[in-house]
Every structure is written in C-alpha cells, then in structure tokens.
Homo-oligomer: A and B are copies of this chain.
C-alpha cells in the first residue's frame, strides 16, 4: 500500500508549496478512483518518511483534503478517503457554502456562479423576510423607552442583562413548562453568542464536545475555535442514537453535549420523549452539561407538544439557549440563556469578557414589547404564516417529489430534509437550480468533517418563501431532480470533477 504513495513525485524546487503539491497528487488519486472511498490513508509519520518530507507538510495536505471534502478524519484513528461525489467541485468554492450556511441567509452571498436575484425562490434561508418584521410596533416601544428612560437607556448595562426583561422572559417561559428564576437568565446578543460564551466559560483546548451529526455548523465553528474536539453522534429520526451517545460519553468524557432537540437544524427531526429523558439522564451520569439550542420548538404546527429538555432538568445539567431571530428580528441580536446556578458566575464573567453587555436600548425596548402584549400578537402572526408555508411545502412535495427521494414530515420548525438517492449529484443540482432561480442548502455543509458517503441530503427551508411561490419553487426543483435522476450522463460527469 505504502508503495503506491512512494511513487508520488514532489518538486522541492517548485514555487508551489510542498503541501499543495501533495494535496493535488492525493486529490487526483482520489478523483480517478485509485484511492477508493473509506480507504484509510497512511499515517502522517509513515507518509512523511516514505516521501522524505516534514510531518507538518503531510498534516497540512490532509487538512486541505478534509477542508475540500476529499477526506475525513476519525478522532484517534486516522484520515480516510471521502466519497468523491461529496467533494466540492472547484466551481463551487467551500467559502460559498460556508457563507450560505453560516449566515443562514443566502442574500449575503457574493458569488457570481450562484445567481441570486429578486426573482430567486430562496429555500436556503431559514430566516424570515424583512417585510414580516413588526417595525411599526417596535418603533412605538423604542420611542416609549427613550421618553421613559432617557440617558439611562444608554449607560453601561448589567452584564447579566436588564432585570425587568429577565422577569418578562421568565414569565413567557412558563408556557413551555420551564419554571425559572430571573436570577438564572442571562441575556445574550443572539444564540450564536450564547454558544460562544458557554464555550469560553467551560471549554479548554482538547476538551471534547458531543454534537449531533448533522448539526448547526455555527456551533461547531465555536467549539473548534476553543480548540475543542468534536465527537459527533449520528442523528436519528427520534434523536441521537443512545448507544453511540453513551459509548461516546464513556470514551471521551465530553464537557458538553450540544443538541437541538425539537425540529432540529437541519434535519427537522425531534427527540422522542424517551430520548429526551435519556439524554438528560446520561448527561448527569457522565458529568456532562447539555446545551439545549431551542431553535424553533414553538413552531409546533401539528401539536406534537414536545417538552424542552430544560423542563426535565431536575438536576441542573441543561443550559438552555433561545434566540429571537427566527420569530422576531435577527438584526436586533437578542436572545437569552438559562444557566444552572452553579455555572452562573462563570457565565457572567465570560459575557463580560466578550462584550461587557448586550445593548441596553434593545433590551429595554424588547421588554416593553413583551409587557405591552406585542410579542404574543406577533408570535401568533408569525406562527400562522409559517404554518401556512409549512403545509404548502409539504403539499407541493407530496405532489411532485420523485419517488426515489424520501423525507419525514417534521411537523414543525422551518426545515425539511430530503433524502436523495445514493450518489445523487447535489452540487450539480444546486448549480442548475440557481441558474433557474431556485436555491436550497446542500446537506453536506451541516457535517463537521466526515460526512458519511451514504448520506446525501438537501435542506429546504420555507421561512423566506412567500406561500404563493412555494408551489412553483417546489415544482421546478422536483422537475430538475427528476431530470437528473433520469440523465445518467450527469452522474457520470461527477467522476471527472
């Protein structure tokens, strides 16, 4: 086996750095099939000895392979060849996909290959369009706050957050069966900051974090930035695989488990009641804390009535994070966390180090917005709109989706996760679709590195698509999928990407 690698020719005189030369050679071997999917690559040490190059050079080449989707690594095992069908073709740079994913808003993408225009039917963004924002009402409360609080709305605020807002939030939470004290609520500038603060407070280099696979990559970016190791556990239709979860807890002793238990992003799956209780029990047993990212549990269109993990958290292992971005206005940058008493002081300190406090004006205005009843009114308005869009999407999919493609109805949330057949060229579909004014998020971008070759998905979000466009968008997309399923030539073309 190592003989094959010994034949690799690197030119030390070349202007191209050695690691890039090695990367290119390996990439070619993967693309032409010489190195088949799931083959374990030689160890860094062996390859560096065989090629008489520095180990760092090999590590860099492997990392580049991973970054571009040609390889994946298993912690403690090594680097493996990925399914090249999953690899990102050069015409679709990773950065495009990262941005698409991270901003959760395709409008920010500046990429001439993926055309986005006013005509584009955008199934990629899970964020409401700005015409739905309650600007008039919010303007009213803003002015009321300015007249009421004057300068004190603009002084340094308590790092934990404006107390009356914490009271208002504690009140709202009772509806989700969460009974908490305002003393345990920490105001944050959006869910992303919540994940960042928790990581800063509790993760050190080398600590393990369990994540669902696939999951919100914005969380993974934070954990990696703290130097943490990701141990991802496969997401099933009713939540994490419990056997693998327990094995991973035993083996890696992670500090944190990051989960989105209801209408998960991206899969739309929700944990069963049994798995909800079990994940809390296991966290306790193995001394881990759970970050419960409550993305959109309140968008429960089919009345499944899930209980948040926080409501089952009798032994204080759950850190509950909630953003207002999906229901309210993402640009306000506002959210909150419920933090167990034991972790509270560290959390406040990490928030202070991060940005001292969240904008006092925003906190005061949002507090008044809740107290004057606008929040309930707006929530109901958004719920009805999203619900209509959800059923419209489901209806259109049921009518037009080729039988080779399957999905489970999530019953709520903002995303639908399509299972494409093995080897389906998702990236080609995306390029093709975007030229025809439809975009979506390819499933691959929600994996932290080692996207299993058997997985091949598409995330359709209906948050940003008007109800009367949904049918047309889904029909166009289904037609393109059908034509790709028919045209074997497109399958073939992937081998030479």
Q: Which residues of A contact B (CB under 8 A)?
A: 102-105, 108, 127, 129-133, 135, 138-139, 142-143, 146, 150-159, 189-190, 192-193, 196, 200, 204-205, 218, 221-222, 225, 227, 325, 329-333, 349-350, 352-362
- The interface residues of chain B lying within 8 Å CB-to-CB of A130 are 150-152, 154-155
With the chains together, A102 CA to B143 CA distance in Å?
A: 31
With the chains together, A135 CA to B153 CA distance in Å?
A: 9
- The interface residues of chain B lying within 8 Å CB-to-CB of A151 are 129-133, 135, 329
**Dominant secondary structure at the A interface:** helix
Q: Is the CB of A358 within 8 A of B333?
A: yes
- The interface residues of chain B lying within 8 Å CB-to-CB of A355 are 189-190, 192-193, 196, 333, 355
Q: Is the CB of B135 within 8 A of A150?
A: yes
Q: Is the CB of A146 within 8 A of B154?
A: no
Q: Which residue of B lies closest to A334 (CB)?
A: B359
With the chains together, A439 CA to B161 CA distance in Å?
A: 25
Q: Is the CB of A353 within 8 A of B196?
A: yes
A156 touching B127 in the complex, CB below 8 Å, given contacts A356-B192, A361-B332: yes
Partner of A330, one of B155, B193, B200: B155
Q: Is the CB of A359 within 8 A of B362?
A: yes
Q: Which residue of B lies closest to A201 (CB)?
A: B225
Q: Is the CB of B154 within 8 A of A330?
A: yes
Q: Is the CB of B146 within 8 A of A127?
A: no
- The interface residues of chain B lying within 8 Å CB-to-CB of A156 are 103-105, 108, 127, 325, 330-331
With the chains together, A360 CA to B204 CA distance in Å?
A: 32
Q: Which residue of B lies closest to A218 (CB)?
A: B353
With the chains together, A358 CA to B190 CA distance in Å?
A: 10
Q: Is the CB of A190 within 8 A of B330?
A: no
Partner of A331, one of B138, B189, B222, B357: B357
Q: Which residue of B lies closest to A159 (CB)?
A: B103
Closest Cβ of chain B: how far from A409's Cβ, in Å? Answer: 28
With the chains together, A102 CA to B104 CA distance in Å?
A: 34
Q: A155-B329, A193-B355, A218-B353 are in contact. List 20 more A-B contacts (CB 8 A).
A: A103-B156, A103-B356, A127-B155, A127-B156, A129-B151, A135-B150, A139-B146, A142-B142, A151-B329, A154-B330, A155-B330, A156-B325, A190-B356, A204-B205, A221-B353, A222-B353, A225-B350, A333-B356, A361-B362, A362-B362
A331 touching B157 in the complex, CB below 8 Å, given contacts A143-B139, A353-B225, A355-B193: yes
